[in-house]
Structures are given as structure tokens and as C-alpha cells.
Amino acid sequence: MLDYKNPGLVIESAKVEPGSVTWRSPANLAILKYWGKHGEQLPRNPSLSLTLSSSFTDTVLEYKPKEGGDRDLSLEFTFHQEPNEAFRERVLKFLGSVTGIFPFLLQLDLTVRTGNSFPHSSGIASSASAMSALALCLCSLEEELFETLSDDAEFDKKASYIARLGSGSACRSIYPVASLWGQFGEVEGSSDEFAIPMAGQVHEVFKDFHDDILVVSSEAKRVSSRTGHGLMESHPFAEARFADAKRKLHFLLEAMKKGDLETFGKIAEAEALTLHGLMMSSNPSYILLKPNTLSMIEKVQAYRAETKHPVFFSLDAGPNLHLLYPEDVIHDVRLFIDEELLPLCEDEQWIQDWVGEGPVQG
């Protein structure tokens, strides 16, 4: 097991000037889903995701040395320029969990200013973008203060590890194009503790793949992903699910390496439905899909059968539909969206997204 705890990372307050670090980090869409965890945010099965582009979180971390000897965490927090106590408490708890890794946090007055380009808590992986952005800020702050993370690969590895502690899926947002999280014997270097980049192991067709997000509902979902993961502990289908995910990953990796869109699409759709099937068969059971989600799925299936275009759907832990397709059919698909899917969206909201190049430092 990795151990990043480092009691030597303490500052000489008199020598530290106030400053700030800024990161923009994207959401990601798991094609092979992570659902169920153990230990300290460790996955029950590996997952493979596409890194998005226009769905992101911007985070600014401002810092200055404390003037007194107070050893408690000091945090001001705003979300979209407004105080948000619920989010502040979550960030404060997360920061408290990593003070062994970043002991200098206890010596600073911190201010976090953050905001999303998309609705939070509605099943578009907002915790992934938010916690990855914050993890990147923490690693950049360490590098600024101590010059300990100048190696890019080590920086990304640590940022992925830290992001995982805040939100499991956040560890996958660190890398461009595609990421794998979870130990898998067929992939060298894979780990339950951090994600690894997969851009070099996927076909070119996926490097400008589209993921248009059809917003069926922007309301916060009534059951959190954290709760859903917990319900897998007593789920009657848990062991079969974890074994099935590993089996599917073998075929998904092959499909993405070869550019086999048909196999990719079959797995993506099966995984989306499996995820929601697990929710509906847990105890207690719950349903996050909406009637318009199901109507969209039927329309996508009918459109694909009629046109033969490689257009597929996926879902996160929410009602909003992700429409996946390659660049070369964009014009036809966008017409289909306008005519058939937008009328089923909340206020005709949708997000034009695509596979992206990962986080960007401000």
C-alpha cells in the first residue's frame, strides 16, 4: 500500500508569502462502472472512463500563513461565489483526512472558491471534477512550498491518489482521454489506489468521441452515490456483479484498442442499465431514472436501428442521458437531438461535451 504521509512537510511561516493555485478539472464518464467499495475508498471492481471536456469544475485555493498558533483547519469556502455550508463541511472533512499527507495545511488560512459548468449532484459526476480539482490544487501547493513534485508522472499519480480519498471516481479525472482505476491483471501498473492513463491504449476514434448530456432533471438526486455504494455491501447480486465487471473489462479494452464501436457500445449500454438495475434491486431499493430517460433510450435504440449510425447511450448515477458517438456522424446526430431528444429535456437543457485533454492549471 502507498503511504504518502510526510511529517516533514511543514513550513516556516515567516518565509511563506500569501498566494493561490488554480485548477480546472473535468468530469469523467465511466463506461465500465465502479459501484461498490471497501476500505478507504477502494473499489470492489475496476472501472474505465472517458475524460470529458466542457463539464468541469474551476477551483481556486488561496492560502496565507496563520498568525497565531492555532492547529485547527481554517477554511473559508464559496460555491459559485456564495457560501455553501454543506459543501464546506465535506471539503473540511476531506482536508482533515489528508493532514498527515499535507501537514502544512494546519499552518495556513485557506480559502476555496469553486464552481461548476454543469448542474451539481444530478448524476453528472460533479464530485469527480470537484475533488480532482481540489486534489490538484493541494499537490500544486505542495510543489510551490517544497518543490517535491516536479516530476509530472509522480505529480499526477499523487493527485489521483488524493482525489480518490475525496471521491472514488475523481481519481480518473486526472488524465486525458481515458483512465483505468482498479487493479486488473491484464494492465500493467493498474492499482486500486490511483488511476492510470489509458490514452496510449485506445483507438484514435475515441480521442474526439462525443458525449452529449441530455439533462432530464437538474435536481439533486434523492439518493447519493455514497449511499448507493454502501448498499452494495449487502446486495444479493454483489459478487456476480464484480466478477461480471472484470469479464466485461477484458472485452472493453480490446474494443477500445481496435476501435470496435459495436462492442464498445454494447458494453456501454449494458453497464448503464446494470448500474441502475443494481439500484433497483438493492435493499432498500430506489429508482433514479425518469420517464423521459426511458423514452430517450427507446428513441436512441430506434434511431440506431434505422440509420446504422454508431450512436449509444450511457448513464451515471442519475436520470440524465449521455449520448456517445464518433465525430464523423455529428451532423446527423445533432439533428436527431434537436428533433427527438431536446423536447424530452428539462427546459431543453443539454451539454455538448466530448473527450478531452484532462485538467488545466490556471
pLDDT, one tens digit per residue, over 185-236 is 999 999 999 999 999 999 999 999 999 999 999 888 888 888 999 999 999 9
Q: Are strands 195-197 and 178-181 parallel, antiparallel or unpaired?
A: antiparallel
List C-alpha distances in Å: 80 to 60, 118, 127, 170: 12, 11, 15, 20
Number of neighbouring beta carbons within 10 Å of residue 349: 16
The CATH architecture one would assign to domain 13-201 is 2-Layer Sandwich (3.30)
Domain limits, CATH 3.30.230.10, in the chain: 13-201
What's the confidence (pLDDT) of residue 118? Answer: 83
Cα radius of gyration (the chain): 21
Cβ 181 vs Cβ 140: under 8 Å: no
- DSSP three-state, residue 160: helix
pLDDT tier for residue 146 given thresholds of 50, 70 and 90: very high
Backbone angles phi, psi at 163, to 5 degrees: -60, -40
- In tens, the pLDDT along 263-293 reads 999 999 999 999 999 999 999 999 999 999 9
Max alpha carbon distance in the chain (Å)? Answer: 69
State the cell numbers at 181: 482505476
pLDDT of residue 217: 92
Residues forming a β-bridge with 47: 181
Which of 102, 72, 74 has its CA nearest to residue 9? 102
Residue 128: its pLDDT value, please? 94
d(CA 89, CA 87): 5
Q: Where in the chain is the domain with CATH 3.30.70.890?
A: 204-351
Cell of 8: 516533514
What's the CA gap between 328 and 309, in Å, rounded?
A: 10
pLDDT over 60 at 318, yes or no? yes
Q: Inform me whether the pLDDT recorded for 294 exceeds 90.
A: yes
Predicted confidence (pLDDT) per residue in 33-72, tens digit: 999 999 999 999 999 999 999 999 999 999 999 987 778 9
What pLDDT shows up at residue 255?
Answer: 98
Q: How far apart are CA 58 and CA 135, in angstroms?
A: 12
Identify which of 20, 67, 90 has the alpha carbon closest to the alpha carbon of residue 361: 20
Question: Does residue 94 carry a pLDDT above 70?
Answer: yes
Q: Quick check: 121 pLDDT over 60?
A: no
Please compute the mean of the pLDDT values over residues 90-114 and round it to a whole number.
Answer: 97
Note the pLDDT of residue 17.
97
> Can you read off the three cell numbers belonging to residue 189?
501498473
Give me the pLDDT at residue 80, please: 95
Segment 288-312 mean pLDDT: 98
Range list of H helices, the chain = 85-97, 126-146, 152-166, 225-231, 238-258, 261-280, 291-307, 330-336
Task: Tell me the C-alpha distance between 162 and 131, whole Å.
Answer: 9
- At 125 the pLDDT is 63
Helix crossing, 238-258 with 261-280: angle to 10°? 160
- Spatial separation of the C-alpha atoms in residues 239 and 235, rounded to whole Å: 9
Compute the mean pLDDT over every residue in the chain, rounded to the nearest whole number. 96
Q: What is the pTM of this model?
A: 0.96
261 pLDDT higher than 70: yes
Tell whether the model's pLDDT for residue 161 goes beyond 80: yes
pLDDT score for 15: 94
Reply yes or no on domain 204-351 having CATH 3.30.70.890. Answer: yes
In the prediction, which pLDDT does 337 show?
98
